[in-house]
Amino acid sequence: MFSTLLLAWYDAHRRSLPFRGTRDPYRIWISEIMLQQTRTETVAGYYRRFLERFPDVFSLAGAPEQDVLKCWEGLGYYSRARNLHKTAKIIAEQYGGQFPRNRDALRALPGVGDYTAAAVASIAFDLPEPAMDGNLTRVLSRFHGIREDVGMPSVKRRLADLARQDMPPVRCGDFNQALMDLGATVCVPGTPDCAACPLRPLCDAFRAGDADLLPVKAAAKPPKEVQLSVALVLCHGRILVQQRKEALLNGLWVYPLIEASTPAGIEKALKSQGVSACYREKLGDARHVFTHRVWQMTIHLLTAEEPACREGQFVSLREMDALPMPTAVRSAREQARTLLTPAFPEDFDLAAAAAVYAQSWQQAHKAHCSDDFIRQHDAAHMEMILRGHRGDGNRVFAITVGPSTEGVLVIDPRENELVSLYLHPSAQHAGIGRAAVRFAIRQLDEQRDMKVTNLRANTAARTLYAACGFTRIVATKTLDPQRDLQEETRVRPGRY
Ligand code: SF4
């Protein structure tokens, strides 16, 4: 009677969900793992993208774990993704790509608990296994009038036995899904909508009038609060990230998470990891709630001169975006993205920019010029050159990343010319030069040919301009014919 009423209701009222309507155990398994601890609406998009990226168990088994974690990014509970990967390897290698057709063998797979094993067994193979999730527990405890703590193992077993008794000989998967849907839409937590329920004529809690008090659950322990400092350590356009080795968020990338909260304490903790960083400022607060713990975070900005560290690595903005990072550091990551995005102020500290200009210029020219000539181009000399550019009507910009000046950019709008682009040697190959060229193009007339001047031997500059869509039209003149050093080139900006 129970199952007849339930399945008739399900046939008329089942939810339309993207992961329904399949008997493919791979798809059912993926959706059930995703649905653990995660809302159905959130899962829908992830499920589609995950299957596009890993359409079958072999594609998942053959992927690097970092790719699986990246695809899982934002769903949380990342051990699920790692276990999915492990299980896919087992199914591919030990089962020839076929999921086992019995609950115990499914239950033995990594990350597959009682619920998931029963869901796959019943939905894919129509085996009579009740998938005891929160919905089934609530509906069955109300229906059968179970008024004991549903967290107790003996009560759990009793509910599972009752479900098994109620289960029909066929349509076992539909029976489980019908209870899930009834629990999600009618027999909801708090006050259920008994008027819409097909089980009302037989329901114990409805008869007793205490449905809103069921199921009985012991009060959960409040999660433990942990205070952490998140250190955003910038070093010439790159930021320090570390891969977690701890069980929580294992394998994911985060910024250094430090227990100390004072500037000196944070610097000291970083020093112990081989990072020599200077504290700059506090950027804000963030909070992330896990099941059993809460991270109360304060985000701090520091800068380092050398990208040295024993744990982790300094990465560019693009590299950071390619790493799997947990939602727990989303706020810090947004701050990091803002910090790592280059800016081009025209009003800036000329001395600081001249010092970087000198370093960069000296590095670029040392192979071709005498030591004396190199020494002459010190910060004071470069400051004079920058003042000269301004006096000549050129526009001079600093290239800044976060709080640091990383280079200078000079353009001449009258000649439609990119006159100078110099970056701190450590800030090169981090996407900053490309951002600077794009900025320069926007300041100039994109419809006309442009002029750039650079060292003939400077292949890095040529590569950069080519990457930004410049097509070389003609080298108009060699500025220093004796040493064959510099040439002016007319270029046409293309798509970039
Ligand atoms: S009658 Fe009410 S309490 Fe009983 S199963 Fe239906 S919705 Fe839940």
> Which position has the higher pLDDT, 464 or 196?
196
State the maximum Cα–Cα separation within the chain, in Å, rounded to a whole number: 102
Domain boundary among 190, 213, 236: 213
Same domain, 369 and 477: yes
Q: Indicate whether 279 and 160 sit together in one domain.
A: no
457: pLDDT strictly greater than 70: no
Q: Is residue 153 part of a domain?
A: yes
Residues 151, 290: one domain?
Answer: no
Q: 384 with 328, same domain?
A: no
163, 181, 213: which is the final residue of a domain? 213
Beta-strand relationship, 486-493 and 450-455: antiparallel
Tokens of 289: 């709630």
Domains contained in the chain, number: 3
Which three-class secondary structure string do you get for 252-306? CEECCEECCCCHHHHHHHHHCCCCCEEEEEEEEEEEEECCCEEEEEEEEEEEECC
Name the phi and psi angles at 257, rounded to 5: -110, 120
Residue whose Cα lies nearest atom 8 of ligand 1: it is 187
How far CA 125 is from CA of 64, 109, 172, in Å, comes to: 30, 17, 9
For residue 483, being part of any structural domain is answered with yes
Q: Whose CA is nearest to atom 2 of ligand 1?
A: 194
Does residue 475 form part of some domain?
A: yes
Instruction: Mark whether 233 and 200 lie in a shared domain.
Output: no
Query: Which ligand 1 atom sits nearest the alpha carbon of residue 214?
Result: 3
Specify if 467 maps to a domain.
yes
Q: Is 210 helix (H, G, I), strand (E, B) or coil?
A: coil
For residue 44, report the distance from its CA to the centre of ligand 1, in Å.
28
Angstrom distance (rounded) from CA 147 to CA 51: 41
166, 184, 213: which is the final residue of a domain? 213
Judged against a pLDDT cut of 80, whether residue 490 lies above it is answered with no
Residue 455 pLDDT: 63
Shared-domain flag, residues 11 and 130:
yes
In this structure, the residues whose C-beta lies within 6 A of any atom of ligand 1 are: 139, 142-143, 186-187, 192, 194, 197, 199-200, 203, 205-206, 211
Going by DSSP bridges, is the β-strand pair 313-315/395-401 parallel, antiparallel, or unpaired?
A: unpaired
Question: 323-333, pLDDT tens digit by residue?
Answer: 999 999 999 99
Give the domain range for residue 468.
Answer: 350-493
Asked if 267 is an active-site residue, the reply is no
Q: What is the pLDDT of residue 475?
A: 62
Best residue among 180, 194, 210, 214 to mutate for probing ligand 1, ranked by most atoms within 8 Å of CB: 194
pLDDT band at residue 98 under the 50/70/90 scheme: very high
283 and 190 in one domain? no
- Between residues 494 and 353, the one the model is more confident about: 353
- The token pair that represents 236 in the structure block: 């010439």
The atom number, within ligand 1, closest to the CA of 197 reads: 6
Identify which has the larger pLDDT, 296 or 247: 296
CATH code of the domain in which 311 resides:
3.90.79.10
* Cis bond before residue 425 (omega within 30° of 0): no
pLDDT digits (tens, 9 = 90+) for 52-78: 999 999 999 999 999 999 999 989 888
Question: How confident is the prediction for the chain on average, in pLDDT?
Answer: 91
| 60 and 21 belong to one structural domain | yes
* 219 within some domain: no
Q: Hey, what's the torsion of the CAs at 366, 368, 370, 376, to 10 degrees?
A: -60
For residue 55, the tally of other CB atoms under 10 A from its CB is 12
CATH classification of the domain holding 96 = 1.10.340.30
What CATH number is given to the structural domain containing 385? Answer: 3.40.630.30
Substitution candidate for ligand 1 out of 199, 204, 207 with most atoms within 8 A of CB:
199
pTM of the model: 0.75
- pLDDT at site 413: 92
Report CA-CA distances (Å) from 452 to 56, 286, 365, 462: 51, 45, 17, 10
Mean pLDDT computed over 301-320: 94
Claim to verify: residue 272 and residue 176 sit in the same structural domain: no
Distance, CA 161 to ligand 1 centroid (Å)?
Answer: 19
Is 392 found in the same domain as 358? yes
Domain assignment of residue 345, yes or no: no
Q: List Cβ neighbours of 108 (8 Å cut-off, separation of 6 or more).
A: none
Same domain, 33 and 151: yes
- Answer whether residue 258 is part of any domain: yes
Distance from residue 11's CA to the centre of ligand 1 (Å): 18
- 138 C-alpha to ligand 1 centroid (Å): 9
Residue 184 Cα to ligand 1 midpoint, Å, equals: 12
At residue 145's C-alpha, the angle toward residues 139 and 151, to 5°, is 70
Q: What is the best residue among 5, 193, 203 to mutate for testing ligand 1's pocket, by most ligand atoms within 8 Å of CB?
A: 203
Residue of 32, 129, 406, 417 with catalytic role: 32
Q: Which atom of ligand 1 is nearest to the CA of 186?
A: 7
Q: Give the residue from 125, 151, 126 showing the smallest Cα distance to 137.
A: 151
248 touches 241 (CB < 8 A): no
When pLDDT is averaged across residues 17-43 and rounded to a whole number, the result is 92
Nearest alpha carbon to residue 232 among 282, 271, 184 = 282
- Distance in angstroms (rounded) separating the CA atoms of residues 411 and 139: 71
Cβ-Cβ contacts under 8 Å for 148 (sequence gap 6 or more):
155, 216
In a domain, 328, yes or no: yes
DSSP 8-class letter at 249: T
Q: Indicate whether 228 and 264 sit together in one domain.
A: yes
Question: What pLDDT score was predicted for residue 368?
Answer: 76
